[in-house]
Amino acid sequence: MPGRVSQRDIAERLNISVATVSRSLRNDRAIHPQTRARVLEVAARLGYRLPDGRSPTRPAVRTVQVFLSQEPQPGIAAEQILAGISEAAEIEQFQVSIHMVEPAAVGELIQDNGRPVGMRAGLVDGALLMMDMPAEIVRAISMNVPCVSVVHRFAELGIDGIDCNPMLAVFEMVDRLVGAGHRRIGFLGWGGGAHWEQLSFQGFRESLFQHGIDHDRSLVVGGDRPLPAGQAFVDALEDLLARGVTAMVCTADEIAADARAVLTGSTTAGAREVALAAYGGGPVGRSCPGLLLAAVPYRDLGVAAIRRLTRRMVDRSEQPRMVLLRPSFETVGPPGSAHV
């Protein structure tokens, strides 16, 4: 077929050998999970399809369909989750197929010609949902094959979920900050209403309450409205400093990095000594001096998703479960920078 994507196309895009691509697509354990994840993602983005030479009978190797949002650039979270999925899939002898979905076209998944080829042919044994979807789409997919959602939650639809626990993470952040002597603690969030950010805010308020600290709404930036940008963000942080804030909890390490840059350039007394804590785990956070980071175990999320899907394949009648992994805490250097 003219224009058909080949394994050589994938190899050239990643600057690796065709043999490595072929072995990655077969989930060969000799290939590093990170490499397998990159091959799977690029194959999906280019529209690669497995050769049509299969037996008409059902293949012995089970296939897991991953639904992933089509983004201009894949984030570190998706890459590491896919690496964990690939690693666990090799152990379970699963074949992984990724279907990239344009957010605006997610509704097409309930149309026959909008579903992945493998699902239309009845060759998919289970699905992992790595993107937010309307309830009717999730319901349609779960009626076809067992499903597990990663990060996004669909418990009301009876879908198993794998996630980190942002409420517990932020609760512990505040606990550590208070233990270090901070009582005036600000909260910085995106303000988009995402479930994980709502849980983060809940953990923030509950931890303050446990320590006998009144929740001061004036110390929240980006709670029920979008996080300000540019000079408005600078002004918001200066306002927190004027209100006596000595520590700030951020719902994302990108926010913490921006805050650190503003505080470093501020002429307000004590600005550079403000302690920062954030939920995340990407390279941005790990380059933010003095940050207390609640690192999300992205790879472990992928591994846990495959394990849960394996159980769901065995018993589809089992009660749905939400598996919450605990983040790990670390403090970013260098020595001598502001820290908790």
Residues 171 and 286 grouped into a single domain: yes
Note whether 106 and 172 are same-domain residues: no
Give the pLDDT of residue 290. Answer: 87
- Return the pLDDT at 338: 45
Q: Please, which residues have CB within 8 angstroms of residue 315's CB and are 6 or more apart in sequence? A: none
As a whole number, mean pLDDT of residues 95-116 equals 85
Q: How far apart are CA 326 and CA 323, in angstroms?
A: 10
Q: Is the bond into 334 cis (omega within 30 degrees of 0)? A: yes
Instruction: Please state, in angstroms and rounded to a whole number, the distance separating the CA atoms of residues 159 and 115.
Output: 19
Same domain, 126 and 17: yes
Tell me if 114 sits within 8 A of 105, measured CB to CB: yes
Distance CA 323, CA 293 (A): 22
Q: What angle do CA 261, 267, 269 make, to 5 degrees?
A: 105
Looking at the structure, tell me whether residues 191 and 242 fall in a common domain. yes
Query: Tokens 């700030």 sit at which residue?
Result: 248
The answer on 226 and 141 residing in a single domain is no
What gap in Å lies between CA 251 and CA 265, rounded to an integer?
A: 22
Examine residue 263 and state whether it is found in any structural domain, yes or no.
yes
Query: Is residue 102 one of the residues assigned to a domain?
Result: yes
Give Rg (Cα) of the chain: 22
Q: How large is the average pLDDT for residues 171-181?
A: 95
Greatest C-alpha distance within the chain = 73
**CA 218 – CA 176 distance, rounded (Å):** 22
Q: What's the CATH code of the domain at 209?
A: 3.40.50.2300
230 and 110 share one domain: no
- Cβ atoms of residues 159 and 309 within 8 Å: no
304 domain-assigned: no
Q: Within this chain, do residues 32 and 85 fall inside the same structural domain, yes or no?
A: yes
What's the total number of domains in the chain?
A: 2
Does residue 176 share a domain with residue 121?
no
Is residue 330 domain-resident? Answer: no
Residue 308 falls inside a structural domain:
no
CA distance 47 to 102: 13
List pLDDT tens digits, range 222-264. 978 899 999 999 999 999 999 999 999 999 999 999 999 999 9
pTM of the model: 0.76
Helix (H) and strand (E) counts in the chain: 11, 12
Alpha-carbon distance of 63 to 75, in angstroms, equals 24
Q: What is the DSSP letter of 100?
A: E
Choosing from 145, 176, 194, the residue where a domain stops is: 145
- For the segment 13-33, the average pLDDT, to the nearest whole number, is 79
Highest mean pLDDT of the ranges 13-22, 24-33, 194-203: 194-203
Q: Please list the alpha-helical segments (H only) found in 65-191.
A: 76-92, 117-120, 135-144, 166-179
Is residue 308 within 8 Å of 160, Cβ to Cβ?
yes
What's the pLDDT score for residue 72?
61
**Share in percent of the chain as helix, strand, coil (round to 5):** 45, 15, 35
| 314 domain-assigned | no
Q: Is residue 220 included in any domain, yes or no?
A: yes
What is the pLDDT at residue 171? 96
The C-alpha atoms of residue 207 and residue 23 are separated, in whole angstroms, by 49
Residue 196 reports pLDDT greater than 90:
no
Per the structure, the complete domain to which residue 199 belongs is given by: 166-296
Residue in 49, 48, 26, 46 with CA at minimum distance from that of residue 36? 26
Is it the case that residue 88 has pLDDT exceeding 90? yes
Q: Do 21 and 138 reside in the same domain of the chain?
A: yes
Does residue 336 have a pLDDT over 60?
no
